[in-house]
Amino acid sequence: MRRFFTRALTRPLVLAATAMAIPLVSASPAASDVVVGGFPVDVSQGPWTVAVSSRDRFGGMRAGQFCGGVVVGPTTVLTAAHCMAVDVLGTPPNRARDLKVIAGRTDLYSAAGQEIAVRETWVNPAYDSASNAGDFAVLTLAEPLPATSVIGMAAAGDTAYEPGTRAVVYGWGDTTGFGGYAHGLRAARVHVLADALCVRAYPGSSDGRYLADSMLCAGETRGGRDACQGDSGGPLVAEGRLIGLVSWGSGCGRPGSPGVYTRVSDVMRTLSQASAAPEGTTTPQGTAEPQETQTAGSQGVGTPQRGHAAP
């Protein structure tokens, strides 16, 4: 059965892309390690992790959180395209009256941090809900976040994408696979897996199809640690850089059914092409040209500089 990582909904949720420039030069390395098989983590350890919220649609108990997102520019948040679908929000995203991003809040029951209105949304027009390819969108915020909240994105060829690399996924989603949604931020340590493994797991069915050019495979071959419903659009971080956005899979933490993430290098490529599109084409305005992020080759595996701080 296809598993989209959007809270309490069985259909894909499409997130909108922002028209704000996305700085593609690396920010400071991430400082920390959603979730099934995970652990509690303070948002200060991953300040670029945000909740996407609509109280009108999802109620106020958990501040209306239904998806995750990641800050890649002071006013720019990436999330999953499927989070912004009409059957999720009940209306086109540009008509959602209370669509917000919540930053700096570990516990969704608290009033900590900031709730910032989404000024513009842009959904990847190449998103394919059948295969799940191109599952990303950009949200432009009405107010800027501090530069310390921004994480750099890993360009194509970055060592962070290599199979076996340790990574961490963050979110407020289901911790059990059966609707046990967290109100505090959680993280799970996983590994980047070989594309061949995901091709075997998802060769093409009603669940979706794994396409290595635009998707990334991560988890544990034996299962047990994974993203789950409600984590969609949240960050997968390796070597201090953003490499994936929580997208889809089959079940949560099942052996042989790893999590599938939107490959961030493909997001960079798509946005670069969109920014160069002819005048009159709908694009995220002002998107910067992709640039290689700084590498962390001198940092030891598992150290805080690489995004794996202890819980």
Q: Distance (Å, rounded) from C-alpha 287 to C-alpha 59?
A: 33
218 - beta bridge partners?
192, 259
Active site residue 232: yes
For residue 180, the tally of other CB atoms under 10 A from its CB is: 11
> Looking at 232, 250, 257, 265, which residue is catalytic?
232
268 near 153, Cβ under 8 Å?
A: yes
Closest CA to 30 of 46, 52, 10: 46
> Looking at 135, 174, 207, 226, which residue is catalytic?
135
Q: CB burial class (10 A; 0-12, 13-18, 19+) of residue 195?
A: middle
Closest CA to 108 of 30, 186, 14: 186
Q: Distance (Å, rounded) from C-alpha 188 to C-alpha 190?
A: 6
Active site residue 257: no
Phi, psi (5° rounding) for residue 206?
A: -65, -20
Q: Distance (Å, rounded) from C-alpha 124 to C-alpha 15?
A: 9
Active site residue 56: no
> Looking at 26, 82, 107, 257, which residue is catalytic?
82
What residues are annotated to the active site? Answer: 82, 135, 232
